[in-house]
Amino acid sequence: MKTNDFSSSSSSSSSSPSDRRIGALLRHLTAGTDADRVSSVFASPTSGVTGGSVFAHLVQAPEDPILGVTIAYNKDPSPIKLNLGVGAYRTEEGKPLVLNVVRKAEQQLINDRSRIKEYLPIVGLVEFNKLSAKLILGADSPAIRENRVTTVECLSGTGSLRVGGEFLARHYHQKTIYIPQPTWGNHPKIFTLAGLSVKTYRYYDPSTRGLNFQGLLEDLGAAPQGSIVLLHACAHNPTGVDPTLEQWEKIRKLMRSKGLMPFFDSAYQGFASGSLDTDAKPIRMFVADGGECLVAQSYAKNMGLYGERVGALSIVCKAADVAGRVESQLKLVIRPMYSNPPIHGASIVAVILRDRNLFNEWTLELKAMADRIISMRKQLFEALRARGTPGDWTHIIRQIGMFTFTGLNPAQVSFMTKEYHIYMTSDGRISMAGLSSKTVPHLADAIHAVVTKAL
């Protein structure tokens, strides 16, 4: 099996990184004499340093490969510059969008003079948690009906993944998680720092710019019994390549036969196809068989609540009493990490999900965003075909969601940035949401130029 290790963490370790850090601190504080302990705790931060900063030895860290694209874009004075690296929706005019339904929900919150700003419980806003579970699992989910699901509010998708990863590192018997190759650049960092050993399974086939389904099945089939497997619920990032429902069923059967633990990352529910239920089908297939799984949700994309950091982690268990104990342990993960989550964003989501009129309005706005992205795919494909650009570009309209994996290499990306002021990640991923009818021709010209040029 072709896998890569992202960490050297021992898979047999029974303690989490935070436990080990606490243990090291206790050993440090209990070592030596009382006088030694007092002096070590209260010593000046610059003890032993004669002038200069105690951090002078630090090297400049590199920019995040995704967020760094926007930094470079902002520094470019060109009037024709185009940012296709940002993972956020833009209007046809290239502007950020706050949904009308979000503004209505916020106004309701503002008008409610009984609202207070007290701390939320460790698990977050209870109503938000219940509504989030119903949204992703389905209101008629047997797991919800049987109280086999525990849901906690987290700091968007990233926080949900981190909390879930650390929970598994502490309490699950397998410490290895398999992630698709390629995947979102933050995934390996999140799970490594959570205390898991990270390996990969084949996913994308560069030759077809589609799914390497056979390689995926072979790698998961060779994974050790009980391993954790990260699955993109829909709109795979960065490729935009998703399995068909028939392929999902084969994946489900294989994983259940080997006792592999599914961990879904659902960052784009409703944002891929325009249908909340369609985009949740893979998750619901796994829940319907009665098995266990984890689901990380984000409301950044589908409600445009990027800066509010609103998300949820749901863990589906086999019994209600187990779900209760799981929640108690999740609290122990969250409390020292960020104590409890913020209230505002979760309240916005709860208002929208509980109000039938607002919910229906949200689904219309959500579909409009998804439809505009689909339209950009069609326009770009047609523009390349009209130019006679060499190669097969049908993958642009086959792929789904916010991103397209163009197949361009780092040298070609660099050329497009230098000559056409088009910014994207070096792997050739572009955000279709950053395009407009006005900028499609500029991008098509750049792609045509770079593929007809020997680089």
Active-site residues: which are they? 184, 265, 301
One-character DSSP codes across 227-255: -EEEEE-SS-TTT-----HHHHHHHHHHH
Could you give the angle at which helices 356-387 and 440-451 cross, rounded to 10 degrees? 40
Question: What is the dihedral sign for C-alpha 78, 83, 84, 89?
Answer: negative
Question: In Å, how far are 203, 204, 214, 244, 293 from 218, measured between CA atoms?
Answer: 11, 14, 6, 17, 21
- Distance between CA atoms of 109 and 91, rounded to whole angstroms? 26
Q: Tell me whether the omega of the peptide bond preceding residue 62 falls within 30 degrees of 0, making it cis.
A: no
One-character DSSP codes across 294-353: EEEEE-TTTS--GGGTEEEEEEE-SSHHHHHHHHHHHHHHHHHHHSS--SHHHHHHHHHH
Q: φ, ψ for residue 264 (rounded to 5)?
A: -85, 135
> What b/e readout covers 333-372, taking b as 16+ CB neighbours within 10 angstroms?
bbeeeeebbbbebbbbbbbbbebeebbebbbebbbebbeb
